Structure 1
Amino acid sequence: MGTLKTKHHIHTLLFLTALIFFLSTPTSLADNTNLIYKGCADQKLQQPYSQNLKPLLSSLLAESAQKGFAATTQNGLTGAYQCRGDLTSSDCHSCVAKIPDMLGRLCGEAAAAARVQLSGCYLRYEVVGFKQVAATQLLYKVCGARRVVDGGGFEARRDAAFGMVENGVQSSGNLFYTGSYQSLYVLGQCEGNLGNADCGDCIRSAAEQAKDQCGYSISAQVYLQNCYISYSFYPNGVPTSSSSSGSEGGGHPHTERTVALAVGGVAALGFLIVCMLFLKSVLKRRGGKR
């Protein structure tokens, strides 16, 4: 009975240790599927359009497993999706797959037009002929609550970083750009069917909106109809291993989170090793008493 009880305690401790380890290393999918904003038309889809919505969404979802942007028109409905330019095909598909189920909760019964923006992707649809907004229409903005108190050339650095985004999206080949410049991390992307020049114009408009709407905020996200731009200011330098203050780099938007996960994973692994050594010691002592 003593041996059976000891094994039970060992199995329980191993299970709890493994559970702690896995809970300390969450996946990145949650970051990509955080809701940013939603837009829903007041008008509702009428027959036969309402029954055509599901096939349209299914078609877009299937496309998302192959490429980061697609737009299509089917049976009187037009729709499109786009994933952030640094997502893999698998992450893109997983992100877009979240939206069809969210549409019902966010917009109620099928709206005549809807758009759902997640942190890693968006999906939109509307009835053909539905009134469109301008390509540079402001849809949503988020300005960081903290502000840069000591200017220290922040405005000039931010404007230079925005210029990098404007040039970068046009030369990147996929209308997407990320980079860092003197303590600023910046990101921009245009809808996949824009030409390079139109993309540059849209990003320039988004940058102007960010300046006007958010001023000296330490961070901002600005979404227009056909593009978006974001920035984050790090007084001590953008926390990436590949960039430093005063140089352009290819930073990653989730650097701080990646570092936190790495530290958490190492700590959990260390705890697991300590537990295993403790168990080995206990078993060795018990074996010596027999």
Structure 2
Amino acid sequence: MGFLSKPSFFRFFLSLLLFTNLATSATDYTTLVYKGCAKQAFTDPTGVYSQALSALFGSLVSQSTKTKFFKTTTGTGQTTITGLFQCRGDLASTDCHNCVSNLPVLSDKQCGNTIAARIQLLGCYMLYEVAGFAQISGFEMLYKTCGATNLAGSGFEERRDIAFSVMENGVVSGHGFFTSNYQSMYVLAQCEGSLGDSDCGACVKSAAQRAQVECGNSVSGQIYLHKCFVSYSYYPNGVPRRSSSSSSSSSSSSPSGPGPNTGKTVAIILGGAAGVGFLVICLMFARNLVKKHDDY
């Protein structure tokens, strides 16, 4: 009876590698957060809409190498389509382009040829709509997510609310993007690039108020309004430093993942996987030595 046959060992080690890949991709900036698809599809017998949409996507992806926000229009008359993309303010230029490059494919996969769509990833988003599409308020809530863990008492609400107040002021002086941390509370806010500072501040304030109501004492949450979004996370052991691979327009460091303890969990998973793999290799090596000794 052997510990593991060679085929079994390689299958086991491969499973470790696959699991490692899944763990590290969990905090990737191209992870889908939510989608918004219009119920009505294009009536496009001549392919005019499809051509205009393809041209729009090409323009957005091309501009993502130069800027983190871009809005444009393609087509004419009834076939006019307006679209935009925006990357998170602390994303590096190359990461911004990589993120935006995923959006056209995801839009087609998630929504098909609808007359309007919005695809939100962790690091960027894109939206488009045909001429005449119904408009909504910039303060309309599109999506929310709240952490499963609640922390009542211990001054949590006070720390969160002070951090929100700092964020509401900071996003105005930061001209649409701000990150900071206050007593283990990390906050991030960003407005659509077309918003002025005053409107941006009002939008972020509304989003923060929604977070207080919708998420209550949850230790983390993200609120996405039509024209802005806010994110907060409480890290009891201190806010982890962000990966050096991305740049930031804020003076504060920010974590690389979307929620508390994500980075620590991934590190534990990777360390455990590597440790188990090394142990298996050592056991296999020892087993082979014993077998060779017995053969003599």
TM-score normalized by the length of structure 1: 0.78
Counterparts of 1:241 and 1:71, CA distance in 2: 32
In the alignment, what sits opposite 2:13?
Answer: 17
2:135 pairs with 1:132:
yes
**Structural mapping, 1:113-192, within 5 Å:** 113-150=116-153, 152-172=154-174, 175-192=176-193
Check conservation: 1:218, 1:232, Cα contact below 8 A: yes
SS at match of 1:117: strand
Report the CA distance between 1:64 and its aligned residue: 3.0
> Residue 264 in 1 paired to residue 269 in 2?
yes
Q: Distance in 2 between matches of 1:271 and 1:42?
A: 49
CA distance in 2, matches of 1:233, 1:160: 13
Relative to structure 1, is the Cα distance of residues 258 and 25 closer, same or farther in structure 2, using a 3 angstrom cutoff? farther
**Residue of structure 2 equivalent to 1:195:** 196
The offset of 1:123, in angstroms, is 1.0
Residue 126 of structure 2 aligns to a residue whose secondary structure is strand
Q: Is the 8 A contact 1:177 1:189 kept in 2?
A: yes
Aligned residue identity for 2:19? L
2:100 to 96, 105, 109: 96
Q: Deviations over 1:66-112 (max 9, x none)?
A: 4432221111211111222333344434433443333345435x222
Matched, 1:112 2:115: yes
Query: Following the alignment from structure 2 to structure 1, what is the Cα–Cα distance between the partners of residues 280 and 27?
Result: 30
Q: CA RMSD in A?
A: 3.3
- Render the CA deviation track for 1:111-143: whole Å, top value 9, x for unaligned: 222212223321100123433323333222334
Query: What corresponds to 2:245 in structure 1?
Result: none
Provide TM-score, normalisation by structure 2.
Answer: 0.76
SS in structure 2 at match of 1:149: coil
Distance, in Å, in 1 between the alignment partners of 2:201 and 2:41 is: 35
* Shift of residue 252, structure 1, vs aligned partner: 0.6
The alpha carbon displacement at 1:45 in A equals 3.1
Aligned pairs, how many?
275
Change (3 A) 1:50 1:241: closer
The answer to whether 1:84 aligns with 2:88 is yes
Q: Which stretch has the larger CA shift, 205-214 or 120-129? A: 205-214
User: 1:213-255 CA deviation, whole Å, 9 max, x = no partner?
Assistant: 4444433321112110122335x3445269xxxxx96231526
**1:54–1:160 CA distance, 2 compared to 1 (3 A):** same
Contact between 2:256 and 2:263, CA under 8 Å: does it hold in 1?
no
Q: Secondary structure at the match of 2:272?
A: helix
Q: Kindly indicate whether the alpha-carbon contact (under 8 Å) linking 1:21 and 1:269 is maintained by their aligned counterparts in 2.
A: no
3-state SS of 1:188 partner: strand
C-alpha offsets along residues 169-218 of structure 1, whole Å, 9 cap, x if unaligned?
Answer: 33446x32222212422111111233333322321222222234444443
Work out the CA distance in 2 between the residues paired with 1:107 and 1:273.
Answer: 45
For residue 287 of structure 1, report the CA deviation from its aligned partner.
4.8
SS in 2 for 1:32: coil
Unaligned runs of 5+ residues in structure 2 are 243-250
Q: 2: CA distance between counterparts of 1:19 and 1:144? A: 29
Paired residue type of 1:210: A
Contact 1:25–1:264 (Cα < 8 Å) also in 2:
no
CA distance 1:276–1:96, change in 2 (3 Å): same
* Alignment partner, residue 28 of structure 1: 25
Q: Compared with structure 1, are the counterparts of its residues 217 and 277 closer, same or farther at alpha carbon in structure 2 (3 Å cutoff)? A: closer
Shift of 1:156: 2.8
**What letter matches 1:83 in structure 2?**
C
Select which of 17, 20, 38 maps to 2:35: 38
SS of residue matched to 2:188: strand
Q: Distance in 2 between matches of 1:34 and 1:122?
A: 11
Q: 1:21 to 1:38 in 2, by over 3 A?
A: closer
Partner residue, 2:51:
51
Q: Report the Cα distance in structure 2 between the residues aligned to 1:65 and 1:93, rounded to whole angstroms.
A: 5
